[in-house]
């Protein structure tokens, strides 16, 4: 393999390689196209850029003639001497011009002109060769792709210019364009459309809204007289409402919220009964309110509502003896082992709960009474029963008291038909 000269282009800095035999040769750079001269290791010369010389006019031919003698200027200091009378001659020297010099040597002038002509001819020849090779032939210095087995003559190895990455925009990326489903997808994948409400659901919402409107009018009534227009059996309970208003101040019932707890429809009449929960500041868990559908509109069970609202069962259980009351209660049986601890074989015991926590009371009922048989028959498999009970508070000779279930006035909380 031939020895190589490795150097950087003096114009653009690209790394070039040439055979040693091409030392001091000139030609265009394969990258920047500037005319450069390769270094010469033998002479210790480095590479340099060849400036494009300005056009040089051809020198005029030298014609020997008699020298022109001009009288010398008079020296103001001293008079002219014979030595000073030598005539000046303008020399065609291209390098320097010294006035008042002696006549130039013609041989020196010819030598200078010959050197200039030789250099100009070499430059023109080199430039023509470069132009000719650039048009169709290979350039003097050419970059070639790296071969598999050996290095090329010239390999441009200038580092690629660094390109700054565009600034990252902080704005959110645009949303992806919506793509239309194909025909197959349109058939297989159906858009999710909310199911329309059935007519039955819409009717139920209208019915519950009407029942709630009547309940609100009942709660917001200013007195018992106005309230009696929204109650079940007003002819039967009007006197009770008037008497109760004298014991408990009457007026609107302030509530926080109203929501439907449950509903049921009577199969024989087709009328619906709603149980609402009316939340108040005193009873945030909600007061049960029964609103029944009748021929006269939606009416409220006043007796059950005021019983729950005013916590009548708790007041009754904590009140004096020899009192009788009627209450809507949840009945649960007491286990037989605990029942036998009472030591009385003539009574059975049950737990009574109003629909609020922390008010549970135990009560007794005679085993041979109709009330006992009704309670045993009414308790469902889940162990509860929701009747309307008549309860008496009894006293013992030693000053103690207990609750006795005397009668089951209704097998459930459903209000009586008007």
Task: Look up the CATH number of the domain holding residue 243.
Answer: 3.10.450
Residues 323 and 205 in one domain: no
Residues 5 and 135 in one domain: yes
pLDDT at 81: 43
Residues 316 and 305 in one domain: no
Nearest alpha-carbon partner for 300 in 233, 370, 360, 230: 230
Residues 4 and 128 in one domain: yes
Are the C-beta atoms of residues 300 and 288 closer than 8 Å to each other?
no
Read off the pLDDT of residues 289-319 as tens digits, 9 standing for 90 and up.
999 999 999 999 999 999 999 999 999 999 9
Last residue of a domain, one of 309, 343, 364: 309
- HEC-encoded secondary structure of the chain: CCCEEEEECCCCCCEEEEEHHHCCCEEECCCCCCEEECCECCCCECCEECCCCCCCCCCCCCCCCCCCCCCCCCCCCCCCCCHHHCCCCCCCCCCCCCCCCCCCCHHHHHHHHHHHHHHHHHHHHHHHHHHHHHHCCCCCCCCCCCCCCCCCCCCCCCCCCCCCCCCCCCCCCCCCCCCCCCHHHHHHCCCCCCCCCCHHHHHHHHHHHHHHHHHHHHHCCCCHHHHHHHECCHHHHHHHHHHHHHHCCCCCCCCCEEEEEEEEECCCCCCEEEEEEEECCCCCCCEEEEEEEECCEEEECHHHHHHHHCCHHHHHHHCCCCEEEEEECEEEECCHHHHHHHCCCCEEEEEEECCCCCCCEEEEEECCCHHHHHHHHHCCCCCCECCEEEEEEEECCCCCEEEEEEEEEECCCCCCCC
Last residue of a domain, one of 126, 142, 158: 158
- The CATH number assigned to the domain holding 344 equals 2.40.50
Residues 130 and 21 in one domain: yes
Residues 273 and 359 in one domain: no
Q: What global pTM score does this model have?
A: 0.51
Give domain status of residue 275, yes or no.
yes
Residues 79 and 212 in one domain: no
**Domain, as residue range, for 375:** 312-410
**Calpha distance 365→377 (Å, rounded):** 14
Q: State residue 107 phi and psi, 5-degree precision.
A: -65, -35
Residues 305 and 325 in one domain: no
Low-confidence spans in the chain with pLDDT less than 50: 56, 58-59, 62-69, 72-104, 112, 124, 128-171, 181-192
Residues 374 and 322 in one domain: yes
Number of domains in the chain: 3
Residues 319 and 405 in one domain: yes
pLDDT at 250: 86
**Calpha distance 226→223 (Å, rounded):** 6
Last residue of a domain, one of 284, 309, 334: 309
Are the C-beta atoms of residues 273 and 293 closer than 8 Å to each other?
yes
Rounded to 5°, angle at Cα 375 from 372 and 377: 110
Residues 234 and 371 in one domain: no
Give domain status of residue 416, yes or no.
no
Residues 303 and 323 in one domain: no
Total count of residues recorded for the chain:
418
């Amino acid at each position: 393999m031939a020895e190589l000269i490795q150097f950087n282009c003096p114009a653009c800095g690209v790394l070039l390689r040439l055979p040693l035999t091409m030392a001091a040769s000139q030609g265009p750079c394969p990258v920047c196209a500037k005319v450069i001269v390769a270094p010469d290791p033998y002479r210790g010369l480095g590479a340099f850029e060849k400036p494009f010389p300005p056009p040089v006019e051809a020198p005029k031919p030298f014609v020997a003639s008699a020298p022109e003698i001009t009288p010398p200027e008079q020296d103001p200091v001293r008079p002219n001497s014979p030595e000073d009378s030598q005539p000046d001659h303008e020399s065609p020297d291209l390098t320097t011009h010294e006035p008042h010099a002696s006549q130039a040597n013609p041989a020196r002038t010819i030598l200078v002109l010959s050197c200039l002509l030789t250099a100009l001819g070499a430059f023109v020849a080199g430039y023509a060769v470069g132009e000719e090779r650039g048009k169709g032939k290979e350039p003097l210095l050419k970059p070639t792709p790296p071969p598999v087995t050996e290095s090329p003559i010239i390999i441009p190895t200038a580092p690629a210019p660094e390109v700054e990455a565009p600034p990252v925009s902080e704005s959110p990326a645009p949303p992806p364009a919506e793509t239309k489903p194909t025909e197959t997808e349109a058939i297989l994948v159906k858009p999710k459309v909310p199911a329309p409400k059935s007519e039955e659901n819409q009717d139920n919402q209208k019915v519950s809204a009407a029942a709630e409107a009547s309940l609100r009018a009942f709660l917001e009534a200013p007195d018992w007289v106005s309230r009696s227009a929204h109650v079940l059996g007003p002819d039967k309970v009007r006197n009770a409402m008037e008497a109760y208003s004298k014991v408990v101040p009457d007026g609107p019932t302030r509530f926080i919220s109203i929501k439907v707890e449950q509903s049921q429809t009577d199969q024989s009449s087709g009328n619906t009964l709603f149980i609402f929960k009316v939340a108040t500041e005193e009873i945030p868990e909600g007061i049960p309110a029964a609103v029944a559908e009748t021929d006269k509109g939606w009416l409220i069970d006043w007796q059950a509502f005021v019983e729950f609202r005013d916590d009548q069962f708790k007041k009754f259980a904590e009140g004096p003896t020899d009192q009788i009351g009627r209450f809507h209660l949840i009945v649960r049986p007491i286990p037989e082992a605990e029942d036998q601890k009472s030591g009385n074989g003539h009574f059975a015991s049950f737990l009574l709960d109003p629909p609020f926590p922390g008010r549970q009371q135990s009560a007794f009922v005679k085993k041979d009474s109709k009330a006992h048989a009704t309670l045993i028959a009414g308790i469902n498999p889940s162990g509860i029963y929701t009747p309307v009970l008549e309860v008496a508070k009894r006293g013992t000779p030693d000053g103690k008291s207990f609750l006795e279930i005397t009668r089951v006035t209704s097998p459930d909380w459903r209000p009586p038909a008007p």
